[in-house]
A and B are shown apart, each in its own frame.
Chain A
Amino acid sequence: DQQVKQNSPSLSVQEGRISILNCDYTNSMFDYFLWYKKYPAEGPTFLISISSIKDKNEDGRFTVFLNKSAKHLSLHIVPSQPGDSAVYFCAASRTYSGAGSYQLTFGKGTKLSVIP
């Protein structure tokens, strides 16, 4: 049972335009969400996160939106640059004390290609 889903395996966007990557989750206990960027043969790099008490978080060109009622989050990249071409993973966790706290559940990733 996939608790975090990224339904688009790939996305192509023109340089300078907006990239929108989507992620859905099923576990209502998740309350902390993250986006990671990954290049081939490298480890994922943390991009941006959002807590469930917020519905938006911005960091430079990256904005994450959270819609708790729809159990949906999205990552917006504006403007998109060729260096943004990578696989983007959505991850979710629930914050509580004790064993297993803050474990991340990952989606399968979306490969973003930014075309010059």
Chain B
Amino acid sequence: DGGITQSPKYLFRKEGQNVTLSCEQNLNHDAMYWYRQDPGQGLRLIYYSQIVNDFQKGDIAEGYSVSREKKESFPLTVTSAQKNPTAFYLCASRKERGNQPQHFGDGTRLSIL
């Protein structure tokens, strides 16, 4: 079955630690996205990538980093510079032709110990 896999489902981080969230897709989609959702809020874009080896900052990129070395993979690192990292993180991908919806993984919930 084609889809987007995010792992782990739950992640705990100590203060001052970096942590990496995994996102893998087998949909052969060109574009991939990372969003953050906070309680009572919509999804806010952190980073996106339209093609391998290229990515752009979204609205709230500070304290985050990404890489796009393979078409299938778009890992997100939450660095110690991110002051309020506790949130639900969602990865999405999209076929980069015309009006196509983004499709989402099931998310990773990150909590600070």
Contacts and interface: CB of A to CB of B under 8 A. Distances in A.
Interface of A: 4, 9, 32, 34, 36, 41-46, 49, 51, 89, 95, 99-104, 106-109
A39 B4 CA distance: 17
B71 to A, nearest CB: 17
Interface residues of B, number: 30
Contacts of B41: 108
Q: Which label, helix, strand, loop or mixed, suits the secondary structure of the A interface?
A: loop
B87 to A, nearest CB: 13
B40 A42 contact: no
A44 B90 CA distance: 9
A49 B40 CA distance: 23
B106 A106 contact: no
Given A49-B99, A102-B96, 16 more contacts: A4-B42, A34-B101, A41-B88, A41-B109, A42-B106, A43-B4, A43-B6, A43-B92, A44-B43, A44-B104, A49-B101, A89-B43, A101-B50, A104-B43, A108-B40, A108-B42
B111 interface: no
B105 A43 contact: yes
Query: For B98, B102, B106, which residue has the most chain A Cβ atoms within 10 angstroms?
Result: B102
A46 B4 CA distance: 13
